[in-house]
Amino acid sequence: MEQLLLVILGVTLTPFMFLVLLIVVPGCFGLSLGLRHLYINFLLRMFELGNKISQTPTAKETHFDFGDEEENDDEVEKSDDEKTVVPNVNSANELIHKESTKHLAHGIKQRVTNGKLNWSPEEFQLSDVCYFTKKGVEAIIDDEVTKRFTAEELPSWNLLTRTSMRYQYLNIRLTLLWMAGFVFRYFLLLPVRLAVTIICMLYLLVSSAFLGYLPDSRLKQIVNKYSSLTLHRMFCRCFSAIITFHNKENRAKGGICVANHTSPIDIAILSFDNVYAFIGQLHSGFMGMVQRAMSRTGTDHIWFERSEMRDRKKVTERLREHVNDPNKLPILIFPEGTCINNTSVMQFKKGSFEVGGTIWPVAIKYNSNFGDPFWNSSKYSMVRYLLMMLTSWAIVCDVWYLPPMVRGEDEESIDFANRVKAAIAKQGGLLDLTWDGQLKRTRVKSIYKAKEQEEYSKMIKTD
């Protein structure tokens, strides 16, 4: 009986371990065997099959739109001899059709002079009230801020219910296809990716402990560089990540590197191609363990407590010292301060733009058709979020290195931050919003309410 059990374990574990090594070993050197690209092409065929299955009388009656894969194909360059075709999916987060708030209703527009409404009590119309009531209801149902803190809605379903609020039962064939995908993701992908994740964590703990005993020297910097690249390249394989880097000549060579923020894995995505020092909020639990291990490498990472004003001052001082030292690694900062759902870029905090030095902007844009990387930290813990990432189809994204930017002589720090933000938004095809991303956790400040009230009061103000 024991021999039979050993034979069964050998038959099942041998292919499993071979598959894990097939993922880990090439990942250590940043090599690709082309398996992930074949896998992505297989997913495209599966999505196309789901699209055909959805084109049934039952599906049409429910008005469920899976999109047109053939019209939205966009080519993504992976290497000189490998190409993967992935769909270019636009955001479908619009819940209702809204008119621009910069214009008045047709009935009111005819009585506007110099931005003010000319009316008398005799000319009062009920539509004058209904229009502003309508705008208030629209803002409550579908405002442009709070929907940036929920998973991006897709125009076509990728068989992951998290990224389609309109998911519903259509027919038995599509349900069977989803069930087959569920079995594949949870009983094949998850065990393999979980094994790779455990290897990455062990590598992080061992390498950080080893680097902690090395004295500060040129040798330690070299070992830290290659161990960091190896770690993050292996970590990207945990999600079957396919990353396309553009304009590599603009990679950060010092100073401050800033990027839009969608997910904690942004760090691994960017560190796949370069080595950075990190700055961020101090965490507990799993993330805290990772931060403590990274700090032992000797790299000048900066962790702070956002609620402590004293920490903010210390961070600014340490950041200025880091930037002024030419021997330090470029420091990676996400000025938004929170994760946004891959559709827009929100307000950049001005602190990192006040210390001086060169700013190296980076734009990151994910293709959410294969998996939604957005982390809603107020809803999901880090462990649960990682589980959702490990059970997604894949992580496909583009990274653009923008030319370095410096602050003008008479330019305010906030203006410089907005200029960098606008460049990132334009390159990544993201909306450029002025709202503070911390509205995810806090109430709207009264000053913002007063500003909107003032704008509306100007419309109806009379002499």
Q: Which residue has the tokens 């050993």?
A: 6
Q: Is residue 352 within 8 Å of residue 421, measured between CB atoms?
A: no
Rounded distance between C-alpha atoms, residue 293 and residue 279, angstroms: 14
- List, in order, residues 6 or more apart from 169 with CB less than 8 Å away: 175
Q: What tens digit of pLDDT does each residue of 316-361 get?
A: 788 888 888 888 889 999 999 888 988 899 999 888 888 878 899 9
Q: Which two tokens stand for residue 132?
A: 């502003």
Decide the pairing of beta strands 277-281 and 302-304.
Answer: parallel
Decide the pairing of beta strands 116-117 and 331-333.
Answer: unpaired
Q: Is residue 65 within 8 Å of residue 155, measured between CB atoms?
A: yes
Q: What tens digit of pLDDT does each residue of 32-79 get?
A: 777 888 888 888 888 888 777 776 554 443 333 333 333 333 333 344
Q: Print the SS3 string covering the chain.
A: CHHHHHHHHHHHHHHHHHHHHHHHHHHHCCCCCCHHHHHHHHHHHHHHHHHHHHCCHHHHHCCCCCCCCHHHEEEEECCCCCEEEEECCCCCCCCCCCCCCCCCCHHHHCCEECCEECCCHHHCCHHHHHHHHHHHHHHHHCCCCHHHHCCCCCCCCCCCHHHCCCCCCCCHHHHHHHHHHHHHHHHHHHHHHHHHHHHHHHHHHHHHHHHHHCCCCHHHHHHHHHHHHHHHHHHHHCCCCEEEEECHHHCCCCCEEEECCCCCCHHHHHHCCCCCEEEEECCCHHHHHHHHHHHCCCCCCEEECCCCHHHHHHHHHHHHHHHHCCCCCCEEECCCCCCCCCCEECCCCCHHHCCCCCEEEEEEEEECCCCCCCCCCCCCCHHHHHHHHHCCCCCEEEEEECCCECCCCCCCHHHHHHHHHHHHHHHHCCEECCCCHHHHCCCCCHHHHHHHHHHHHHHHCCC
Domain ranges (residues) in the chain: 106-151+449-460, 235-437
Rounded distance between C-alpha atoms, residue 128 and residue 339, angstroms: 39
Query: pLDDT tens string for the chain (463 positions)?
Result: 667 676 666 666 666 676 677 777 777 777 777 788 888 888 888 888 877 777 655 444 333 333 333 333 333 334 433 444 343 434 445 555 665 544 444 445 455 555 455 555 556 566 667 767 777 787 777 777 877 888 777 767 788 866 555 556 667 888 888 889 999 999 989 998 998 999 999 989 898 888 888 888 888 888 888 889 999 999 999 888 999 999 999 999 888 999 999 998 999 999 998 999 888 777 777 778 888 888 887 677 888 776 554 666 777 788 888 888 888 889 999 999 888 988 899 999 888 888 878 899 999 999 988 888 898 887 888 888 889 999 999 999 999 999 999 988 888 989 999 999 999 999 999 989 888 887 777 777 777 778 877 877 766 665 5
| CA geometry: angle 203, 278, 238, nearest 5 deg | 40
